[in-house]
Structure 1
Amino acid sequence: MRILIVSDAWHPQVNGVVRTLMTVRDELQKLGHSVEVIGPDRFRTIPMPSYPEIRLALGAGRKLERLIRAHDPGAIHIATEGPLGFAARRYCLRNGIPFTTAYHTRFPEYVRDRMPVPLALSYALVRRFHAPAAAVMVATQTIEDALKARGFTNIRRWSRGVDTDLFHPRDKAFLSDPRPISLYVGRVSVEKNLEAFLKLDLPGTKYVVGDGPQLEEYRNRYPAAKFVGARHGEELAKFYAAADVFVFPSRTDTFGLVLLEALASGVPVAAFPVPGPLDVIDDPAVGCLDDDLAHAIEAALAIPAEPCRDHAMKWSWRASAEQFLNNLRPLRGSDRLIRS
């Protein structure tokens, strides 16, 4: 099948949405499918207000239509609720083309953290965006239940996976700082609630791996923590494995790929009992969820590596890709604008 994905999150951005789309694309190609991703890198862009690392496509309509026609897709998936997502949605609705969407980010909560917009208003906009989709893909049962309670329909499961060959237990001597080492990996931005971790008085050393709009602000505000910027591949895997506990302070993520990467590295997780952690850390043998994050960290430090690794081994990117494929709505007959 020729699959077209339209996403406002794509290279050179570094985040969970991009990593998910990249990995699932690769798995689908291994299964024999053709996958094309249309992202902001193909358009004139401007920096997103308050988050310049994210570029927003401008005037995408006509060029996007040409790109869609040139690809001649057998199925269209709209990954994000940004300018490209809205343009693709408008194109599909105007031409009677079925499409699927995904709910990657708790966008209303993200907006609330940055500006005084009522959650009810943001959810109404997001619900309207997803309403015409043949399927709205979500990663977890917790998010599905929350969206259903707000009137979302046509929800289908699209779980996540982890590369257990890359992320695995390693020599902790990679980091020689005083222990225990508490690690955070992810964007350094307001919606990640990172200060809930940074302001804690903890023994040992705090590490933050990642970039984002608050990086310099937090680096200056919390000089005792070590901010090392973004890391990738083998180097990232070494940071994970060298930690003693992985701390996930976010309250707005829909999943959190980093949770699985930490567990695959044999590192227990400390987090709040919110969507994402509630679905991934469903076994107290691999982490601690508590509204008192300091207590969660202390409890998680007592957890050995073996059950963490065993838990992560249950998550497969191949299964994720197959779920995605089964959720798609193939174009048929009159649905096609151009010859199959």
Structure 2
Amino acid sequence: MQGLEPVETMQKIALVTDAWAPQINGVVTTLSSVVGELEAAGHDVGVIHPGLFLTVPMPSYPEIRLAAAPYLGTARRLLAWRPDAVHIATEGPCGLAARAFCLRHGWCFTTSFHTKFPEYIHARLGVLPVRTGYGVLRRFHQPAAHTLVSTPAFSEFLSEHGFSDLRLWPRGVDTKRFKPWAGNLFSQLPRPLFAYLGRVAVEKNIGV
């Protein structure tokens, strides 16, 4: 992953996320890497996350803690810091609080779409039809200046569900950690080669 070029003008960026350390998942890994790259490029990044608030366990996933009533704390931090840009990375309580604040005060913000929560909730709890879930998420993201997505296929998928103002935000590869070369172990295996890297969970559709 090539780092961002240093900038002449530092920007104050507020990142609002319901997925943050000590959680271990792809969203946390992605956002942590983004914060590191932005700071290395000279930007000042402030993260609003559940650890700043009283938390409650997430239904069906108690090891994940969600912020309880984070609006006032989120509003206080945003007003005190006055960032140049606000990015809302998730649709949980912190994301909802920041969205409500920005709409109330006329602040522009961007969002990103990381997880197919309608399928996730349906697979885990068997409630909330997938179509209804996408209707809820569409309303969440609609006021954003742009909604960032990781792949062209995902952008097309969301467009078919009525999402608009989508922008590609592809993932990079950390070339300091991952170094493909001709003599590595995988080069000797027969093709095609498939690998799954992630949590073994029902919503990952590993058995499909």
TM-score, normalised via structure 2 length:
0.85
Larger radius of gyration: 1
Q: Note if 1:91 corresponds to 2:101.
A: yes
Is 1:21 equivalent to 2:31 in the alignment? yes
- In the alignment, the residues of structure 2 paired with residue 168 and residue 192 of structure 1 have an alpha-carbon distance, to the nearest angstrom, of 26
What does residue 155 of structure 2 align with?
Answer: 144
Match of 1:130 in 2: 141
Give the AA of the match of 2:198: G
Partner residue of 2:169? 158
Question: Which residue is 1:6 aligned to?
Answer: 16
Per-residue CA deviation, residues 16-62 of structure 1 (Å, 9 max, x unaligned), is: 11111111111111211111111111111111111112111001011
| 2:67 matches 1:54 | no
Paired amino acid for 1:189: A
What's the secondary structure of 1:185's corresponding residue? Answer: coil
Q: Which residue of 2 aligns with 1:70?
A: 80
Determine the C-alpha separation between the residues in 2 that align with 1:132 and 1:193: 31
Structure 1: segments with no counterpart, 5+ residues: 173-181, 197-248, 250-340
Give, in angstroms, the shift of residue 167 of structure 1: 2.0
**Partner Cα separation in structure 1 for residue 195 and residue 112 of structure 2:** 29
Q: Deviations over 1:54-76 (max 9, x none)?
A: 11100101111111122220100
1:193 counterpart residue number: 205
CA distance in 2, matches of 1:168, 1:157: 25
Partner of 1:260: none
The one-letter code matched in structure 2 to 1:185 is: L
Q: In 2, Cα distance between the equivalents of 1:109 and 1:82?
A: 16
- What's the CA shift for 1:193? 2.6
In the alignment, the residues of structure 1 paired with residue 90 and residue 44 of structure 2 have an alpha-carbon distance, to the nearest angstrom, of: 20
Once residues 78 and 104 of structure 1 are traced to their aligned partners in structure 2, the CA distance between those partners, rounded to angstroms, is: 11
Cα distance in 2 between the residues matched to 1:188 and 1:53? 15
Structure-2 separation of matches of 1:69 and 1:34: 16
- Determine the structure 1 residue equivalent to 2:116: 106
Percent of aligned positions with the same letter in both sequences?
51
| Partner Cα separation in structure 1 for residue 24 and residue 87 of structure 2 | 20
- C-alpha root-mean-square deviation of aligned residues, in Å? 1.7
- Give, in whole Å, the separation in 2 of the partners of 1:53 and 1:184: 23
